[in-house]
Structure 1
Amino acid sequence: MTPRTPAVARLHRARWAMTLLFAATTAACLLVLAVLAVRTDGRSRTDELDNGVSHRADGLARTMYYNGGVLHLDALSDDDLARSAEMLGVLHAPEHARPQIRYARDSRAALPDQAALDEIWQQVRHDQETVLISAEVDGREYQWAAAPVWDDDTIGAAVLVGADPARTLAAHTRLRNWLAAGCAALVLAAAAVGHLLSGRAMRPALRGLEQQEQFLAEAAHELRTPLATLRLVVEGGSTSPARAPHALDEAMRLIDRLGRLVTGLLARARLEAGTQDIELTPLRLDQLVEQTVEELPDHTGVTLTTDAAIVDGDPELLAQAVRNLVENALRHGGGTPVDVSVTPGRVAVRDHGPGVPAKDHTRVFERRVTGPTSTGTGTGLAIVRWVAELHGGTARLSPAPSGGTLAELLLPQHPAGASSRPSSTSHTPSE
């Protein structure tokens, strides 16, 4: 597993911070909505309970009447409001006397105690309208409504209707629990979605960092050999005055090569970043390969065979791909000769080394893969395939006849074909 760079680690930390921020914001919004919903539900249930007992008490009070100072309760026996009431009683109080239970549908024990009845009666006499009050029965609190029954101009009795709020409270508690569970689930879902979205948002940045790392590795791979060769040439010229002119010429050639390499690297970086499009021009592939091979410091072990071939391509990128193929063969061919051949639309490089296992023929073209035939940084052959695909072609490895490895760069041919140079040449590049 490739270790994370500090920049990548910072991006991952930023992703988790964005996820937490997204989840916290969602949690805060849901909390506000849940609190409002719980309070609204609590008020509505309380109002519904109060309205229910008040409606029954008012309706039953209108069915009762006084006649000659006698309270008639006949309507309570068959009234739907009386049957639907949870608890029902009638208070009656002669003038200047304490209220007494005149009627209890279930039992006297189902109604509030005398102290509570006194309080209810006093409030009804004071307000002269239906009143709401909470009173306990057997240690449980109930909601009561008391509606006055008029005897001419005075209140002679009161209808008392009660309801148990436990059922309403239980429903309210269930709603609160469901809201808590739902909000928790939504926060987790929001965190997951936030993590996914932040990951997608950071994907271009991570891809850019990866491309930067790849570019640095490829630049080091491309520049390491010519810089080392230039150092040897300069050291050789400085120690031997007789070799100084030749060393100077060789150094200038290597400097020119380094300039082309830097230009190619910059072009490739712009292409991969999407800030520049590749410009394909018709070029002689055979001449490009000849020049590239001749610039290699250890090209004496290379046998070159070329046919005239014209392709549409970028000369710097194609030269880089050819150079990587040949250097890979020289480095991993076990010191054996390397044969390079150019035919229309094809550059083939063959070494006579131990060969590459069949299972690695595709894998070695992946970036950062090291193996028997790949470079130490795992970039050389990856660059070859990238250049080939950029030109609409491909690169492949296969076993060579009689041993060794055959590496091929396949490119689409230019419509002009190879008519400009019918003959072929075979030679070993001179020093």
Structure 2
Amino acid sequence: MFAAATAVCLGVLVGAALRIDLSSRAEATDTDLRQRVETLADLVTFGDDQQLNLGPVQQSRAAKSVPVYGFVTDRTIAYAKPGQDALPTDAVLRRALAAARHADGHVVTFVAPQASAPEGPTLHWAAATITDFGTYVDGSYTGGIAVAGKPVAAATGHTQLRTGLFVSAGVLTLLAAALAHLVAGLAVRPAVRGLEAQEQFLVEAAHELRTPLATLRVLAERRGSPEQMVRQVDRLVTLTDRLLLRARAAGATSVGTAPIRLDRVVERAVIAHVEAPGIGTASESDIDLRTEPTVVAADPELVERIVENLLANAERHGAGPVIVRVASGTLHVADRGPGIPVRDRRRVLAVGTTGGGGTGTGLAIVAWAARAQRAEIAMRPTDGSDTERPGLTVTVRFHSPSDRSSSEPHTARSTVDSS
């Protein structure tokens, strides 16, 4: 629509420019004709035999610069070059004579076809009065005019101008359409990002809520374990609160953090994962947990989400035992599975990447939770090589409470070890 509107506006401008050009060329032609016909009228002389002396006229530049000219009275065409049929019709010439009589010596202009080609192209004409011209021709004063005509000058130039304007208008329309497309893309991009963030939230919500809902179903089938059911309901409520926070935090953002014991939060998350009935295949013997007391600036609920998703990812795609280490403000989760190729390590942190039947949001949630706490996440092979089963180690490094950057807004980098 923008391109069509631009084309219409440019078309109007082109039409106006062409009309102005034609008008200016016609005016220039009329001005030139006025000068030529006045010269022709002044050069007309008569001999002793009262006949026209055309020598000075035929030798003048005025006669040579116009293709058609002649001398006319009320009763006859005294002379015409290249011939009488090259002049306008008799009716047009009579109107020109009448107009010249009332012009008080001024040159009159008009537009008319030649008598030999009434349906042909029109020429511009100019007529100037010749004093006492009729007396010498007819023996009594009748008056006469010199008339000259030619087509509008520089018709070829007008054609070139028309072609150039149409080509320029087409190019400008295409450029305007391209610019409009670019500007529209820039204007719509925030809305597209917002829609993508909402879609990401819905996928992550389904992924996060699947585990506690499945647990509740197993507990309901057993018709027992009320304490565990209450715990899972509480966990479901907590997850809902976190997902609502995630919906409000669409995109790279941060959450409030406070000093916590990272080792205790990780231990609690591992125990909750192992004790979740009917969920996963992990047991205490499948997880090698070793922690050292360490205090970091983090959100305990998001740390639990990181641990839970890393353990679930290791169980689904890796092989045991899963090694969990906490020391010096850093969380390490390693497995002995096939690992992730170097070229795919950044891609798996994006939503929708999956190597199995899952939704492909586990590691994406880990990446988001790390960014929200201004932590740094890295991935590398567990054994430091690219063997058939190198394993995968995910490291999340948190800031210490004394670190100034831990209390300032910061978007964490997601790094990938290429070794």
Match in the other structure for 2:336: 352
Q: What is the alpha-carbon distance in structure 1 between the residues aligned to residue 371 and residue 95 of structure 2?
A: 97
Give the whole-Å Cα distance in 1 for the aligned partners of 2:46 and 2:196: 95
Could you tell me whether the CA contact under 8 Å between 1:398 and 1:406 is conserved in 2? yes
Q: Does 1:343 align with 2:327?
A: yes
2:370–2:396 Cα contact (<8 Å) kept:
yes
- Of residues 169, 172, 194, the one that matches 1:186 is 172
Distance 1:43 1:146 in 2: 20
Taking structure 1 as reference, are residues 306 and 122 closer, same or farther at Cα in structure 2, changes over 3 Å only? closer
Partner of 2:354, secondary structure, is coil
**Map of 2:198 onto structure 1:** 212
Match of 2:355 in 1: 371
Spell out, residue by residue over 1:135-189, the C-alpha distance to the aligned partner (whole angstroms, 9 max, x if none): 3276454322221111199564422222133x54433333223222222222222
Residue 280 of structure 1 is matched in structure 2 by: 257
Contact 1:395–1:407 (Cα < 8 Å) also in 2: yes
**Residue 124, structure 1, aligned to residue 97, structure 2:** yes
Given the superposition, is the C-alpha separation of residues 340 and 89 from structure 1 closer, same or farther in structure 2, using an over 3 Å criterion?
Answer: closer
Would the alpha carbon gap of residues 114 and 164 (structure 1) be closer, same or farther in structure 2, given more than 3 Å must change? closer
User: What residue number does 1:254 align with?
Assistant: 232
Counterparts of 1:319-334 in structure 2, within 5 Å, are 319-334=304-319
The residue aligned with 2:386 is: none
State the distance in 1 between where 2:75 and 2:9 align. 58
What residue in structure 1 maps to residue 406 of structure 2? Answer: none
CA contact (8 A) 1:112 1:137 kept: yes
> Aligned partners of 1:27, 1:114: CA distance in 2, in Å?
43
Against the structure 1 CA distance between its residues 277 and 398, is the aligned structure 2 distance closer, same or farther, given a 3 Å change threshold? closer
1:381 Cα deviation from its structure 2 partner = 0.9
Query: What does 1:238-253 align with in structure 2 at a 5 Å threshold?
Result: 238=223, 244=224, 247-253=225-231
* Alpha-carbon distance, 1:252 to partner: 1.1
Between Structure 1 and Structure 2, how many residues are aligned?
Answer: 375
For 1:339 and 1:405, the matched residues in 2 are separated by: 10
Following TM superposition, by how much is the alpha carbon of 1:224 offset from its aligned partner in structure 2, in angstroms? 0.4
Task: Call closer, same or farther: CA 1:115–1:264 in 2, change over 3 Å.
Answer: closer
Query: Using the alignment, how far apart are the partners of 2:113 and 2:306 within structure 1?
Result: 93
Partner of 1:268: 246
Moved more, 291-300 or 357-366: 357-366
Q: Secondary structure at the match of 1:233?
A: helix
Partner residue, 1:407: 394
Contact 1:284–1:308 (Cα < 8 Å) also in 2: yes
Matched, 1:147 2:121: no
Question: Distance between the aligned counterparts of 1:360 and 1:181, measured in 2?
Answer: 49
2:113 partner SS: strand
SS in 1 for 2:25: helix
Structure 2 residue matching 1:112: 3-state secondary structure = helix
1:90-116 Cα shifts (integer Å, max 9, x gaps): 4154xx742221xx5xx533x535772
Verify the 8 A CA contact 2:66 2:149 in the aligned structure 1: yes
2:91 aligned with 1:91 = no
Is the CA contact 2:87–2:115 (under 8 Å) kept in the aligned structure 1?
Answer: no
Any idea what the Cα deviations from partners look like across 1:229-252, whole Å, max 9, x if unmatched?
11111221x2xxxxx3xx110011
Amino acid at match of 1:308: P
> Could you tell me the TM-score, scaled by structure 1's length?
0.77
Q: Which amino acid aligns with 2:307?
A: V
2:346 aligned to which of 357, 362, 367: 362
Q: Distance in 2 between matches of 1:254 and 1:262?
A: 12
- 2:26 aligns with 46
* CA–CA distance in structure 1, aligned partners of residues 87 and 219 of structure 2: 118
Deviation at 1:409, TM superposition (A): 1.5
Q: 1:74 to 1:156 in 2, by over 3 A?
A: farther
Aligned match of 1:383 in 365, 370, 381? 365
Q: Is the 8 A contact 1:135 1:144 kept in 2?
A: no
Percent of residue pairs bearing the same amino acid type: 35
Q: Partners of 1:289 and 1:299 in 2: how far apart?
A: 16
Listed as ranges, the matches of 1:164-183 within 5 Å are 164-165=151-152, 168-183=154-169
User: Structure 1 counterpart of 2:132, which letter?
Assistant: D
Per the TM alignment, residue 285 of structure 1 is displaced from its structure 2 partner at its CA by 1.1
1:63 is displaced (CA, Å) by: 4.5
C-alpha contact 2:88 2:115 (8 A) present in aligned 1 = no
Change in 2 beyond 3 A, CA 1:328/1:72: same
Following superposition, the deviation at residue 78 of structure 1 comes to 5.8
- CA–CA separation in structure 2 for the residues paired with 1:214 and 1:123: 85
Amino acid at match of 2:289: L
Q: Would you say the 8 A contact 1:65–1:151 is kept in 2?
A: no
Counterpart CA distance in 2 for 1:185 and 1:355 is 54
Are the structure 2 counterparts of residues 225 and 146 from structure 1 closer, same or farther at C-alpha, using a change threshold of 3 Å?
Answer: same
Query: What TM-score results when the alignment is normalised by the length of structure 2?
Result: 0.79
**Structure 1 counterpart of 2:182:** 196
Shift of 1:292: 1.4
Deviations 1:333-379 (A, max 9, x none): 34x2322110112111122334444444333223211126xx72111
CA shift for structure 1 position 317: 2.1
Q: Distance in 1 between matches of 2:88 and 2:218?
A: 113
Q: Calculate the aligned-residue CA RMSD, in Å.
A: 3.0
Report the AA paired with residue 309 of structure 1. Answer: T
SS in 1 for 2:237: helix
Partner Cα separation in structure 1 for residue 113 and residue 188 of structure 2: 63
1:399 Cα deviation after fit? 2.4
Paired residues of 2:296 and 2:401 also in contact (CA < 8 A): yes
Superposed displacement of residue 121, structure 1: 4.7
Separation (CA, whole Å) in 1 of partners of 2:242 and 2:199: 17
Partner Cα distance (1:185, 1:223) in 2: 55
Could you say which residue in structure 2 is the equivalent of 1:427? none
Partner of 1:17: none
